[in-house]
Amino acid sequence: MPTTGIYEGFSLSHAAILDTTTGLDHVDGDIYGVEEASLDPDTDSFENHGDDAVLSTWDWLNFAKVTVKAGYIPFKLVQLLSGESITSSGASPNEYWSVNLWTDRSMNVQPRPMLIRIPSKDSAGLVRVHDFVLYKVQFSPIKFDGPTFKDGLKVNYEGKALLSTTDEKGAVLSGGFKAVGRMINHP
């Protein structure tokens, strides 16, 4: 049965930092235990006035704010997003992990492509996957919520998905335009 081209998404199954050469999930870039994510465009507009009326409007996109909240802290992901080195020693279960937090050199790291994945199905009920691929996300320093009673500690990854002339693999977008990313729905 062919798909209808009309899709719904439900829940959230995966978020990851993508490798800039392959476009696949970065080896250390899995955001484990994702609880919620959001993607919110920051837009603005100008109204051209004349003859006591609005004659036209101009709209533009500044960036899209991406936020991911998770319940786990993957040290290798913190290293990837901060540029700080991990120290580890010992053997499981007595292994020791340490990474510097919020240093002056970790505030403005290289932008990275990102994936947010949602289970999906079409209007006829065929199971699909819906992906948001963001080409260039400038991440902010990680933030923490909690810890709170019976809710634990949450870690927040936030960034600005910036307009880019290249896709997640570094290939130039055809047509000479800029984009924040793309939506893909696939089996």
CA 45 to chain centre: 25
pLDDT (average), residues 116-137 = 93
Please list the residues that pair with 158 across neighbouring strands.
67
Would you say domain 7-186 falls under CATH 2.30.110?
yes
- Structure tokens, 17: 């930092």
Mean pLDDT of the chain: 91
Task: Examine the pLDDT at 172 and tell me if it is beyond 80.
Answer: yes
H or E element in which residue 119 lies: strand 112-122
- Domain residue limits, the chain: 7-186
57-76, pLDDT tens digit by residue?
999 999 999 999 998 888 98
pLDDT (average), residues 138-149 = 90
Task: Return the pLDDT at 29.
Answer: 80
The length of the chain is 187
- Best-predicted range by mean pLDDT (7-21, 25-39, 116-130): 116-130
- Structure tokens, 26: 């970065």
The percent of residues in the chain predicted with pLDDT above 90, rounded, is: 65
Task: Return the pLDDT at 162.
Answer: 97
pLDDT (average), residues 138-146 = 92
Lowest mean pLDDT among 31-35, 37-41, 131-135: 31-35
pLDDT (average), residues 7-11 = 89
Task: Examine the pLDDT at 24 and tell me if it is beyond 80.
Answer: no
Nearest C-alpha neighbor of 86 from the set 74, 94, 71: 74
Please list the residues that pair with 139 across neighbouring strands.
159
Residues 52 and 55: their CA atoms lie apart, in Å, by 9
pLDDT (average), residues 142-167 = 91
Q: For residue 1, what pLDDT band results from cuts at 50, 70 and 90?
A: low
H or E element in which residue 41 lies: strand 34-50
Task: Return the pLDDT at 28.
Answer: 75
Nearest C-alpha neighbor of 152 from the set 83, 82, 69: 69
Task: Return the pLDDT at 2.
Answer: 72
